[in-house]
Amino acid sequence: MHRYCSMILNYLKSRGSASADQLIAELGLGEDKVLWALEVLKRDGAIEYKRDAVTDVSLTEEGKSYIDMFPEERLVKSVAEGKVRAVGDVDDKIGLNWAKRNGWITIDGGKLSLTKLGASIEQSGRYALRDTLRDLSAGGDTKRIMLKSSTAFDSLKRRHLIDVHERGTIGTIRITDTGNSINDNVDEISYLDREIIKGRLWEGKRFSEYDVNISYGDIYPARMHPMHEFINMVRETWLSMGFVEGSGPIVNPAFWNFDVLLTPQHHPARDMQDTFFLSDPDTVGTGERSLLKRVKAAHERSFGTDWDVSLAKRALLRTHNTVVSARYIRELGSSSRAKYPIKAFFVGRVFRNESIDYKHRAEFYQSDGIIVGDNLTFSNLIFELREFFGRLLGESVAESIMLRPSYFPFTEPSLEIFYFDKNHKDYIELGGAGIIREEITGALGMNKRVLAWGLGLDRLLFDRMGIYDINEIYRNRVGWLRARKSL
């Protein structure tokens, strides 16, 4: 046994347990050596300890500036003193915003007035957020503060007034029965080594014994990311159904993302609120002039409004994978060598301009597909979708599939597809599908019928893995990746 290990073991034999700090202080070995020896002893089952997480909290610059008074407290005071009467009088919009959210003031026709709650706050001067901030700044016991004022704590975190950082520490270290029974005895062998094996020095000696029931340290296999695994399952399902795989660029002009798919230029989805438009570059090329002309004509025919080419050139991050389908249809339409029917699928990331929280992400995966050919029907579309989900999710889920009529600017007829989730006792949406409108395929130079669909993958994965916070999977915390469920 290594010298450091036996030093620690002997120390623990007399005391039963100790903290890592005690060992470091008393044995004079240095933190690195102690930590190393502890890992070896744990691996051998001679000691046990738990890992704790310690939370360090520090105030941000903004947080520090609020210790005396929060901007919303300042605002309420100004209103009470009559210094501020209307929205136009307010300089600090942050204070105004929070005072309103807290229900301390009301705004009517631009005029500000204190509510009962706001008045009582102003008089008492007691504000939970400020008290908690002061507690943390004074260096109080973080865990206790977190538990006692969890709402205030979360608020401070969300407003970026505090930085929260978790650190790992080692909890109390205890010697096990195995540890107690280890004797640095000349007659008892702890570790086999070359010398003992070649010289047959083990003859006549005993081997110290291991407790077969305890854990000797966790092994973490390196793994594929679960979304990569899931995407492979999806891809293999489509490939097994005879689909060819394709892909396309993430950055597209609005032309391919919206105009080609006959989404009107003043449709709300084209709003900054839902789409990530780029400022640099702010436009990207749209391609062939002849295609532009045909799409322009289709818009003017369908909507009776002017079509502005500068809006079509705006660069954005694709909001759906249907862009890739559209480009693929165009390639087929302009090629004379394709043999029909053709089945193709595309898996890729898409982007929506969302406020990120536990239920919403700004980027997620979709699996889109098309079938192109003569005489394809709505019942063909339904077959391929039911078949896909049957293979991917299993027969019992497939039996619960429900179709519902829907509306998309680029398909008619359209449908949405759901399955019944037994845990949530609710229908969960799998995706949308339909027959691409002839105005669109016509403009793309395609004279055959196109069946198309787009399916969301993240939701399926989360439900499968039982995940609550949909951002967890992309936070890539090593502990989470190590322990995550298999698919």
Partner 1 sequence: MANIAFRVRDVKRRIELSKFSRLMSEMGFETDIGKDEVNVDITPHRPELLDFDMLMWALEVFDGRAKPSKTDYIPINERLIDIEVSKSVSGIRPFIMGVAAKRVDLSGRKADYLIRFIEKISETYGRKRSRIAIGIHDLSKISGNTLRYEALSESSFVPLDSEYSMSFDDIIRRHQKGIEYGGLVPSGKYPVLRDSDKIMAFIPIVNSDATKVSSGTDSLFIDVTGTDAVGVRNVTEIMNCVLRHMGADVYKVGVHVGKRSTTSPSGVWRRLSLKESRISSILGIEDLGSTAVHVRRCGYVASSSKGILTVYIPPYRTDIIGSMDIIEDVAIGYGYNRIKPVPVSGHFVGIPERSVPLYERVTRLFIGIGFTEAMNNYLTDEESQFHNMGRADNGKSVRVEYAKTSSISILRQSLIPMLMQNLSDSMNEPMPQRLFEYGKVFVRVPGSVYERDSLAFVAVHSKANFGEAKSVFDVIAREMGLDLAVVRYEDPAFIKGRCAGISDNGKIIGVFGEIHPTVLNRFKIDEPVIAGEIYLE
Residues 280-319 that bind partner 1 (CB under 8 A): 280-282, 284-285, 302, 304-305, 315, 317
User: At residue 142, what are phi and psi to the nearest 5 degrees?
Assistant: -60, -45
Using rule CB under 8 A, residue 331 touches partner 1: no
Q: CB within 8 A of 401, min separation 6: which ones?
A: 386, 389, 417, 418, 419, 430
Contact 430, 283 (CB under 8 A): no
Between the two ends of the chain, the Cα-to-Cα distance in Å is 42
CA angle 68, 71, 73 (to 5 degrees): 75
Using rule CB under 8 A, residue 424 touches partner 1: no
Whole-angstrom distance, CA of residue 218 vs CA of residue 271: 50
For every residue of 82-136, DSSP letters joined together read TS--BGGG-S-HHHHHHHHHTTSEEEETTEEEE-HHHHHHHHH---HHHHHHHHH
Q: Return the closest-CA partner of residue 218 out of 43, 382, 60.
A: 43
Q: Which residues of 65-81 are buried (b: 16+ CB within 10 A; e: fewer)?
A: ebeeebbbbbbbbbbee
Using rule CB under 8 A, residue 43 touches partner 1: no
Question: Token pair of 50, please?
Answer: 């738990």
Using rule CB under 8 A, residue 51 touches partner 1: yes
Nearer to partner 1 by Cβ, of 123 and 279: the residue is: 279
Whole-angstrom distance, CA of residue 133 vs CA of residue 140: 10
Nearer to partner 1 by Cβ, of 244 and 309: the residue is: 244
Residue 94 beta carbon to partner 1: minimum distance, rounded to whole angstroms: 13
Contact 34, 64 (CB under 8 A): no
Residue 377 beta carbon to partner 1: minimum distance, rounded to whole angstroms: 3
Q: What is the DSSP letter of 379?
A: H
> Which residue in the set 2, 19, 334, 341 belongs to the binding site for partner 1 (CB under 8 A)?
341
Nearer to partner 1 by Cβ, of 326 and 435: the residue is: 435
Q: Choose the binding region for partner 1 from 94-102, 119-127, 142-150, 373-381 (rule: CB under 8 A).
A: 373-381
Q: Choose the binding region for partner 1 from 115-123, 136-144, 220-228, 456-464 (rule: CB under 8 A).
A: 220-228
Nearer to partner 1 by Cβ, of 29 and 250: the residue is: 250
Sites for partner 1 among residues 96-135 (CB under 8 A): 108-110
> Which residue in the set 143, 144, 349, 422 belongs to the binding site for partner 1 (CB under 8 A)?
349
Using rule CB under 8 A, residue 476 touches partner 1: yes
In one-letter notation, the amino acid at residue 331 is E
In whole angstroms, how far apart are CA 83 and each of 38, 101, 104, 113? Answer: 64, 21, 16, 12
Residue 16 beta carbon to partner 1: minimum distance, rounded to whole angstroms: 25
Q: Choose the binding region for partner 1 from 63-71, 75-83, 98-106, 233-241 (rule: CB under 8 A).
A: 233-241
Q: Choose the binding region for partner 1 from 127-135, 172-180, 216-224, 326-334 (rule: CB under 8 A).
A: 216-224
Using rule CB under 8 A, residue 210 touches partner 1: no
- Per the DSSP assignment, residues forming a β-bridge with 356 are none
User: At residue 368, what are phi and psi to the nearest 5 degrees?
Assistant: -105, 160
Using rule CB under 8 A, residue 63 touches partner 1: no
Using rule CB under 8 A, residue 49 touches partner 1: no
Q: Return the closest-CA partner of residue 372 out of 344, 346, 337.
A: 344
> Which residue in the set 172, 215, 240, 396 belongs to the binding site for partner 1 (CB under 8 A)?
240
> Which residue in the set 227, 233, 311, 397 belongs to the binding site for partner 1 (CB under 8 A)?
227
Nearer to partner 1 by Cβ, of 102 and 414: the residue is: 414
Residue 246 beta carbon to partner 1: minimum distance, rounded to whole angstroms: 7
Residue 345 beta carbon to partner 1: minimum distance, rounded to whole angstroms: 9
Using rule CB under 8 A, residue 216 touches partner 1: no
Q: Which residues of 124-158 are buried (b: 16+ CB within 10 A; e: fewer)?
A: eeebebbebbebbbeeeebeebbeebeebbebbee
Residue 409 beta carbon to partner 1: minimum distance, rounded to whole angstroms: 9
Using rule CB under 8 A, residue 395 touches partner 1: no
> Which residue in the set 174, 353, 397, 428 belongs to the binding site for partner 1 (CB under 8 A)?
353
What count of residues does the chain have?
A: 487
> Which residue in the set 29, 119, 251, 297 belongs to the binding site for partner 1 (CB under 8 A)?
251
Using rule CB under 8 A, residue 465 touches partner 1: no
Using rule CB under 8 A, residue 40 touches partner 1: no
Using rule CB under 8 A, residue 402 touches partner 1: yes
> Which residue in the set 238, 258, 410, 453 belongs to the binding site for partner 1 (CB under 8 A)?
238
